[in-house]
Amino acid sequence: MAYEEIDASFGFHACGILSSWVVKCWGYNASGQLGNNSVVDSASPVNVSGLTSGISNITTGHSHTCALTTSGGVKCWGYNVSGQLGNNSTTNSSVPVDVVGLSSGVERISVGYNSACALTTSGGVKCWGYNAYGGLGNNSTTNSSVPVDVVGLSSGVERISVGTHDACALTTSGGVKCWGFNHVGQLGNNSTTNSSVPVDVVGLSSGVEQIFAGNATTCAVLSSGVVKCWGWNAYGQFGNGTVGNSSVPVVISSLSRVTRISIWAYNVCAIVSWSPKCWGSNGFGQLGIGITTNSSVPVDVVGLSSGVAQVGAWVYASCAVTSAGEGKCWGFNGNDRLGNNTNHQIAAGSAIPGNVSSLSSSVEWLSMGYSNACALTTSGGVKCWGYNAYGGLGNGSTTNSSVPVDVVGLSSGITKISAGVHSACALTTSGGVKCWGYNAYGSLGNGSTADSSVPVDVVGLSSGVSSISTGYYHACALTTSGGVKCWGRNQQGQLGNGSTADSSVPVDVVGLSSGVSSVSVGTYHACAVLSTGALKCWGYNAYGGLGDGTAVARRTSPVDVVGLSSGVSSVSAGYYQSCAVLSTGAVKCWGYNLYGQLGNGSTTNSSIPVDVVGLSSGVSSISTGYYHACALTTSGGVKCWGLNAYGGLGNGIQNIHSTPKDVNP
């Protein structure tokens, strides 16, 4: 089943919207929170009664869920002891019920632990549910089973964000007001006293562009690009070198002199003055610091204090290429991915860089896939190692290898390599493309769906290709004439040929037979920069990742990105979202934004490009990861934003960040 959106709860259930716009939930169901007219738990998704179409967004609380309809109405279901369903009752409901008075006119909803708030199209705020700490903002501490007006916020509100038992609003004048639970100063008013009405956050009466309320920690982004946070700081969430709570906003801090960066879902590596630093998840030693303790600030990789030319982060492991051409890897070694002739997950030396066997002085570039890696040698040959059940190592075998093996027939004449999920592709000096490995969706482009453990020619691409980019079971090639051809999986229209049928041979992307300067392939979509500086995208679009102002399930041919008809210098397509660097050095992002990965101070998806806060100039390149992104500035600094559960943003703050944070030195 293809989901357009998914949301996991504070508790033990989750819900998602399918590409067919059917809503399904699964997990714990004692209070009817699955919405299927039952209280029986379900280990598999079940249909939510009556929600077969017209739902634009879902968001879950501890034991209840609310949905925003395309007509601006709100429906909720599940646990209701505090009135959090908003239907003038405290009786649980195992089917969706209408929130009283909110059948239309709602622009956004934000759900807390056992309450919810709605931002109306007129700029007013209404809340309902649990209110013991004043979280409804109506000058009361009595629960309400129907929406109540937040005192003083009947209009003039631009955004809302609900925390566990507190909430904040950003006004159209750029000020911030918060209300509710305040035990650690999360209201930002220089107090730890709860407030049942909105109070001004100290020093933030104007000039604020975005806000985010988390688990008792709140952050704001000023128009100057400065980020301030307040509230809970037990784990260093402020990134300012302290672990003490603060009831007033404090500023966070920075890193510079970075020349290259590589990111994955749970950890990041960067080269700083030719020395690699890594941070984030480290359970398998992937930070290369000699221990397996996570780090939420950058740490030096042992033994690589200088002379590093490239660094790459992948799934629980990292690799580097030294200026002397050495290949070194560290971290998780399942499926032999370290290439060091061992097969232990945490063997002696795996938490620090070790040499990749037989690659002591001949590596030009490394490309890391899901569970294997390939090296382009200085002689133009290709060697791969790691997982090989589908022939992804290209050596005529399906046996994993803990040391690099030669890819059959590719001992020379290769200029570029790109490793994907259990497969890889290579670009030859003659402009031809060869691929090998997993091929169930035709991702090898050879007119077949049979896996191949040796390289096969991509049909029709024996010459004339200037670059290649691989996605999730599909790939695209940019021809020397400026055209784009794609092949492989196409369920979401990611091949751009006006169809959703998979293709085992390259197909022309509609309207892009010439005039394209670069192409970037994401998980299920792709974007192309035209020679005119215009930007077009195609493929999966439920979260607005194509930037065309809609959130329809998919686009099977390229569409124009709103507002970017010129001036685009580069694009990076990621996981349901995209970011572009403009010729002015500014950054704009669009699409999926549950974790703030658009960098605009919000966690609301956007189907049109939005400005990344504080990055209106000075950016040279950008890279989008699984649920976050990082930008390299012209001054050599790095700023990251999005999901940070494992410290992957490198700023010492283990929390979601919806605006760029400087990576700490």
Partner residues linked to 329 by β-bridges: 319, 354
Last residue of a domain, one of 230, 252, 274: 252
DSSP state of 95: E
Mean per-residue pLDDT, 297-320: 46
The owner of tokens 């979260």 is: 543
Cβ distance 147 to 139 under 8 Å? no
> Does the pLDDT at position 326 exceed 50?
yes
Ramachandran bin of 196, using left for φ above 0, alpha for ψ from -120 to 50, beta for the remaining angles: alpha
Residue 555, in any domain of the structure: no
Residue 537, both tokens: 């995208």
> Does the pLDDT at position 589 exceed 50?
yes
Q: 237 and 176, same structural domain?
A: yes
Helix, strand, coil % over all residues of the chain, rounded to 5: 0, 45, 55
Instruction: Convert the pLDDT of each residue in 611-630 to its tens digit.
Output: 988 888 888 777 776 677 76
Number of domains within the chain: 2
Q: 129 and 235, same structural domain?
A: yes
**β-strands 568-573, 577-582: how paired?**
antiparallel
Per-residue pLDDT, 624 = 73
Residue 218, in any domain of the structure: yes
Residues 6+ apart with CB under 8 A from 234: 243, 245
Instruction: Determine the Cα–Cα distance for residues 400 and 120; give it in Å rounded to an integer.
Output: 56
Per-residue pLDDT, 3 = 47
Segment of 214-228, 245-259, 352-366 carrying the highest mean pLDDT: 214-228
Mean per-residue pLDDT, 25-36: 74
Instruction: Convert the pLDDT of each residue in 418-475 to its tens digit.
Output: 777 778 888 888 888 888 888 888 888 888 889 988 889 998 988 998 887 777 788 8
Mean per-residue pLDDT, 601-606: 86
Q: 56 and 120, same structural domain?
A: no
Q: 124 and 39, same structural domain?
A: no
Last residue of a domain, one of 23, 56, 76: 76
Give the residue numbers spanning the domain of 226.
105-252
The owner of tokens 């189907």 is: 607
Per-residue pLDDT, 294 = 59
Give the N- to C-terminal CA distance of the chain in Å, as an integer. Answer: 43
Residues 6+ apart with CB under 8 A from 293: 282
Residue 127, in any domain of the structure: yes
Three-state DSSP class for residue 275: strand
Per-residue pLDDT, 169 = 95
> Does the pLDDT at position 354 exceed 60?
no
Per-residue pLDDT, 259 = 42
Mean pLDDT of the chain: 77
Instruction: Determine the Cα–Cα distance for residues 643 and 662; give it in Å rounded to an integer.
Output: 14
**The sheet that has 433-437: what strands, in order across it?**
414-419, 423-428, 433-437, 452-457
Segment of 239-243, 288-292, 625-629 carrying the highest mean pLDDT: 625-629
Q: 213 and 122, same structural domain?
A: yes
Q: 134 and 48, same structural domain?
A: no
Residue 394, in any domain of the structure: no
Per the model's pLDDT, the better-predicted residue between 512 and 318 turns out to be: 512
